[in-house]
Amino acid sequence: MDDLREEFIAETRETLEILAGQLVQWEKDPSDKSLIDSAFRFVHTVKGSCGFLDLPRLLRLSHAAEELLSHARDEQIVVSSDMVTAVLAVIDRISELTEALESGEPVFDNDATLIDAMLAFLPDKGTPAIPAAAIRQLHQDEPGEAIDEAASASKTRTVRVSLTLLDKLMNGISDLVLARNEVSRQLRRVGSDNEIDQAFGRLSSTVAEMRDAIGMMRMQHIDRLFSTLPRLLRDICIELGKQIELTVEGSEVEVDREMVEALRDPLTHILRNAADHGIEDPEQRRSVGKDPVGHIRVVARQSGNQILIEISDDGRGIDVEKLGQRAIARKLLTNSQWQNMPERAKLETIFAPGLSTAEAVTSISGRGVGMDVVRTNMHAIGGSIDLENNEGQGLKITLRLPLTLSIIAGLSLRAGGQIYGISRSAVVEIVSVTNRSVEIEEIGGMPVAKVRGERLAYAKLETILGVAEMEDSQSARSLVIIKPAVGATFALDVEAVVDNEELVVKPGAPLIMATGLYAGTSLPDNGKPMLLLDASGLAAEIGVEQELFEMANRNQVTDAEQNKQDADSGLLFQTLDGTVQAIRLAVVDRIEDVDGSAFHQVGGRLCVSVEQVLYDAKGLKTLPDAGATVKMLRLSDGSTSVFLAVADVIDIFALDREIAPSLLPEVYEGIVHVDGKPVEVLNSYSFFEALPGENPTGISQRPLCFVDASCDDGWAQNILAPLLSASGYEVSFDPTDQSRAAVVLANGANTQKTVGDGRVVALRDSLQVKDEERGSIYRYDRLGLLSAIESKIAGAR
Amino acid sequence: MEKLFLIAEIAATPVAICCDHIESVVRVNEVVNVPRADPVIAGLFSMRSRVLTLIDCQYRISGTQKPFERGCPAVIASINGHSFGLIVDRVRDVVSVSDDAVLAATRLDPKWSGLCSRLAEIEDHLVMILDPEKLVSTDQRAAA
């Protein structure tokens, strides 16, 4: 009985998968009889089996659906999309119940509602629930032969084989390959004649063919995944009130069956995103001259040893600027980081956790979970994801996957005289330790590898594994740069990189996996077991705090944590006169090479013009030559920027040590020891304190100063007004503005008229104070005047 | 019901291992070390294109690792879907034990009580029945 039940579950599941796509087509073309027939056959089969297996709920559901569909088949009722929805609801419930049969989980029982909703479409509405006896009789009477025949004709004949048996076959064939290799070695040793060689050649090619064929047995058509997409999209469309046409190509591409499962979630996410915030509303689409029906294309193809899946839509694409605003608003990035990011990196912030460009959260997407999950899933199976954004025209997402999960492209490494494997997809590059672009140094007790100027966390594989190093291995060691799916890029120092090979991954025993360092085991062609290293596990072992180095090197890091770590780091640089100084990394926005022609002498100060904005240039004594390039540190306090000229940037170091006080506290914050030498740390505050605040044009709400200008036109308009504007006030000479002004500036005789008005600041022409001018301010006392205006405004609030 | 048991010696003590778990007994010639793993793991070895984990059974009793000896006998057992080789001192015999002769073990030496919970009466002697699952469980590490 149990066997029969399992058979039923498996069969129902299979049919459901095929059916899902057909049902949606049926909705589009309700008159298509063959599709109604498919649906009818399904419920009929379910009904037949579950009557026999004594599954009353399934029986009731399938019977009701069959009833309705048989009417539809006989054209007694017209199929509407509402009716299809009702039938789909019942078919979904059948699917849930079937799954529940296996898992043993309960499914909420409101079957009667579903059935009633469906039966409402019958011509004689509201057929009462069918008595159990009637059902039993009905199903026995049903003439089913003709139908079953039709169903079986279209199927390819298959057998179900257990996975263990498949694995056994796989193992067997691997054995065979090893044995063949051994024979080949022996033959070479003893020297063979032609006939033996021929026979052996035939054996070899047969074995190779068999290995391929058995590899194929693990493969499945990607259609298994794609066939569920039309249904998924249909439900989304109904919910969103959009019209979307889905094109699926390449269903015949074959992938490893485990891959099908691993792809299911990412693909669903992407499709939802495309339908929900890629494709616009029909009206919107019409208004921009697009076909009101949206199009989504899903294409799979095989390219070499990779599978490519492309999902393209003709929606609005990703609004990159909006994405940036969201990212900044959510404090994932600072404004300047965003401005300095290359286009591609900007686009890729879509993968940052918690980010979405959707206007509102819908039940389908927009919660900002999704793209980050997609990328994580893709990495987990050794794949990658690419975006091609045409703003306003659509988005194309390409998923790249390895052909199988169980065979990986591997790299074999030697450490402590033993060979280990690692997945090549995690390896960025391999460099020799003796390469001149590689330096290994120690910073704060932690070893760091500097590869072409980029700092990476570094560890010897022998140290991680706790094995002894081979004595003669010191000369020709290699650095393998590894970028794990989880964690920062790091440099792994190994005795030697041995080979590139295809490795069959075998799971390791729990006791081995418990170390967290290994991804499994493998058996290469030499027949000696090999441990596969887990890149993420190694990264965790090396430690996360070393991520700091990587972060300090990149300016597109999205983590808010960076600021915290920056705050504790210093940048070591050489000034133009050759001394080594340091500055806190947190104030350094970026490093720029500025052409000498951009420097100007303005107002007795050296300034540099960058992107048409003039900034103070520090650290320079004279104007540089027009042709020269000057390395400048762009310092920022968040709103204002200053440029500091340096000869060169030397290093980044942790400012976690004691800072000794400096004799010149206004210039230097203090003195620290870096690599045993004292270095003065520049006082970041001093760079900004002498500067005016943010450019006043940036202020939207500027307080209004009314100048009672009848007094002295020339002075007020030419001298006073510019001062006020530059200090961030709006200036008006129009008497109608007097009432709404925040401050009124009056002079001489005019002060008498406005006595008692708290907004008035009185000015006088001479330095000496006359009696009637008590409380007035000398008109060339700039500081006094500005502070008086400031206090009036502050007092008015 | 009669059941077949393999009688082997671990740490110079005879133990019975239920033959349901056992595939074969082999001699292991070559192992690959597994650095940083539980010390009960003596290494990996290959057998007909499979990779098996070699278990130094006596470590659970003595608490000290025994250096790998080339050609040592190992009982190949499938435990929770993974294949292991259990190193034993030597293999004595295969005997049939009826269910009546299997008793619950009481008052075992604490070294053994983590690995055995039952005894078998074989030819008037009581032999501990080794529970291979306990030998390779990850919980055991905390206990040991």
CB distance B134 to B114 below 8 Å: yes
- Alpha-carbon distance of A65 to A40, in angstroms, equals 8
pLDDT category of residue A140 using cuts at 50, 70 and 90: very low
Cα distance between residue A149 and residue A145, in whole Å? 6
Partners of residue B48 in chain A, C-beta under 8 Å: 171, 175
Contact between chains at A509 and B38 (C-beta distance less than 8 A): no
CATH number at residue B95: 2.40.50.180
- A-chain residues within 8 Å CB-CB of B33? 418, 467
Mean pLDDT score, A268-275:
85
Is ipTM > 0.85 here? yes
Q: What is the mean pLDDT of residues A772-787?
A: 76
Helix (H, G, I), strand (E, B) or coil at B10: strand
Tell me if domain A2-153 and domain A223-402 are identical in fold: no
What's the mean pLDDT when you consider all of chain A? 76
- Measured between CA atoms, the residue of chain A closest to residue B85 is A509
State how far the alpha carbon of B118 is from the alpha carbons of A102, B15, B130, B136, B140, in Å.
35, 11, 8, 18, 18
Residue with the larger pLDDT of the pair A629 and A246? A246
Among the residue ranges A435-444, A536-545, B61-70, B133-142, the one predicted with the least confidence is B133-142
Per-residue pLDDT, A143: 39
Q: Return the percentage of chain A with pLDDT > 70, whole number.
A: 82
User: Looking at the partner chain, which of B51, B80, B138 has a beta carbon nearest the beta carbon of A529?
Assistant: B51
Q: Are A467 and B138 within 8 A, CB to CB? A: no
CB contact under 8 A, A510 and B30: no
Q: What integer pLDDT is reported at residue A772 of this predicted model?
A: 66
Q: Which pLDDT belongs to residue A748? A: 63
Question: Residue A529: which of B44, B82, B141 has the nearest Cβ?
Answer: B44
Are A506 and B51 within 8 A, CB to CB?
yes
**Residue B90 confidence class, pLDDT cut points 50, 70, 90:** very high
Does the domain spanning A412-550 belong to CATH 2.30.42.10? no
Half-sphere exposure of residue A765, counting CA atoms within 13 Å on the CB side? 8
C-beta atoms surrounding B126 within 10 Å = 12
Residue A711 has pLDDT above 70, yes or no: no
Q: Which of A69-83, A403-417, A510-524, A692-706 has the highest mean pLDDT?
A: A510-524
d(CA A238, CA A245): 13
A787: left (phi over 0), alpha (psi -120 to 50) or beta: alpha
pLDDT reported for residue A754: 55
DSSP conformation class of A356:
-
Judged against a pLDDT cut of 70, whether residue B89 lies above it is answered with yes
Reading phi first (left if > 0) and then psi (alpha if -120 to 50, else beta), residue A516 is in left
HSE, side-chain direction, 13 A CA sphere, residue B38 = 26
Q: How many domains does chain B have?
A: 1
Q: Residues A536-555: what's their mean pLDDT? A: 58
E-state strands within A418-549: 418-423, 427-432, 438-443, 446-451, 454-460, 478-482, 490-494, 496-506, 518-522, 530-533
Of residues B30, B34, B49, nearest to A512 (C-beta) = B34
Average pLDDT in the A419-438 region? 86
In this model, does residue A53 exceed pLDDT 90? no
What CATH fold (topology level) applies to the domain A568-689? OB fold (Dihydrolipoamide Acetyltransferase, E2P) (2.40.50)
DSSP per residue over A5-70, as a string?
A: HHHHHHHHHHHHHHHHHHHHHHHHSTT-HHHHHHHHHHHHHHHHHHHHHT-HHHHHHHHHHHHHHH
Taking CA atoms, what residue in A is nearest to B48?
A175
DSSP letter at A780 equals T
Say which residue the tokens 């980029």 belong to.
Answer: A454
Asked if A509's CB is within 8 angstroms of B46's CB, the reply is no
Residue B32 to residue A517, Cβ atoms within 8 A: no
Q: Check if the beta carbon of residue A395 is closer than 8 Å to that of residue A387.
A: yes
pLDDT tens-digit series, residues A716-744: 777 777 777 777 777 777 777 777 777 88
Taking the mean position of all CA atoms in its chain, how far away is CA B54? 10
Residues from chain A that touch B51, judged by Cβ atoms under 8 A, are 506, 521-523, 529
Buried-exposed string A315-347: b where 16+ CB fall within 10 A, e elsewhere = bbbbebeebbebbbebebbbebbbebbeeeebb
Lowest mean pLDDT among A147-156, A248-257, A423-432, B83-92: A147-156
Q: Does A467 touch chain B (CB under 8 A)?
A: yes
Query: pLDDT tens, A280-337?
Result: 888 888 888 888 888 999 998 877 667 889 999 888 888 888 888 888 887 777 888 7
Q: What sign does the CA torsion over A29, A35, A37, A38 have? A: negative
Mean pLDDT of chain B: 87
- Say whether pLDDT at B6 is over 90: yes
Report which secondary-structure segment, H or E, holds A249. Answer: strand A244-249
Query: Is residue A267 pLDDT above 90, yes or no?
Result: no
Quote the CA–CA distance of A493 and A481 in Å, as a whole number: 9
Contact list in A for residue B141 (CB cut-off 8 A) is 511, 514
Examine the pLDDT at A526 and tell me if it is beyond 80: no
Residue matched to tokens 């309705």: A68
Q: Between residues A135 and A763, which one has the greater pLDDT?
A: A763
Q: How far is B35 from chain A (nearest CA, A)?
A: 5
Cβ-based contacts of B38 with chain A (< 8 Å)? 511, 514
Q: Is the pLDDT of residue A9 over 60?
A: yes
List, for residues A561-589, the tens digit of each pLDDT value: 444 445 567 888 888 888 888 888 778 87
Instruction: Assess whether pLDDT exceeds 70 at residue A493.
Output: yes
Q: Which of A127-131, A264-268, A477-481, B139-143 has the lowest mean pLDDT?
A: A127-131
Chain segment A144-199, per-residue pLDDT in tens: 333 343 444 444 567 777 777 887 887 788 778 777 877 887 787 787 788 888 88
Q: Does the distance separating the beta carbons of B32 and A465 come in below 8 Å?
A: no
Please give the structure tokens belonging to residue B29. 């010639």
pTM tops 0.80, yes or no: no
Chain B CB contacts of A416 under 8 Å are: 35
What's the sign of the alpha-carbon dihedral A551, A554, A557, A563? positive
Domain that holds residue B135: 2-143
- pLDDT for A66: 81
Place B75 in a pLDDT band, splitting at 50, 70 and 90. Answer: very high
Q: What tokens does A284 get? A: 């919107």
**Which one of A174, A511, A534, A538 would you mutate to disrupt binding with B, by most B Cβ within 10 Å of its Cβ?**
A511
A466 and B36 within 8 Å at the Cβ level: the answer is: yes
Of A372-376, A581-585, A713-717, B125-129, the poorest mean pLDDT is in A713-717
**Higher local confidence (pLDDT), B94 or A698:** B94
Residue B49 pLDDT exceeds 80 = no
C-alpha A307 chain-centroid distance: 21
Q: Strand (E) positions, A367-424?
A: 384-390, 394-402, 407-415, 418-423
Q: What is the pLDDT of residue B143?
A: 42
Give the rounded percent of residues in chain A with a pLDDT score beyond 90. 4
Are the C-beta atoms of residues B118 and B126 closer than 8 Å to each other?
no
Alpha-carbon distance A67 to A78, whole Å?
Answer: 14
Please report the pLDDT score of residue A45 as a whole number: 77
- Pick from A689-698, B67-76, B129-138 the range whose average pLDDT is largest: B67-76
- Three-class DSSP category at A413: strand
How many angstroms separate the CA atoms of A774 and A464, rounded? 81
Question: Which among A548, A558, A527, A646 is positioned nearest to B47, based on CA atoms?
Answer: A527
Instruction: Answer yes or no: do A466 and B35 touch at CB < 8 A.
Output: yes
Q: Model confidence at A500, in pLDDT bands (50, 70, 90)?
A: confident
Structure token pair of residue A273: 């995103």
Q: Which CATH superfamily is domain A2-153 in?
A: HPT domain (1.20.120.160)
What's the pLDDT band for A773 if we cut at 50, 70, 90? low
More confident residue, A205 or A741: A205
Gap between the Cα atoms of A692 and A386, Å rounded: 45
CA gap A594, A134 in Å, rounded = 90
For A223-402, give the CATH class: alpha beta
Where residue A560 falls among pLDDT bands split at 50, 70, 90?
very low
A399: which residues sit within 8 A by CB, 6+ positions away? A263, A266, A267, A308, A309, A310, A311, A378, A383, A384, A385
CATH number for the region A700-796 comes to 3.40.50.280
Report whether A733 contacts A709 (CB < 8 A). yes
| Higher per-residue confidence, A659 vs A142 | A659
Partners of B50 on chain A (C-beta within 8 Å) are 171, 506, 523
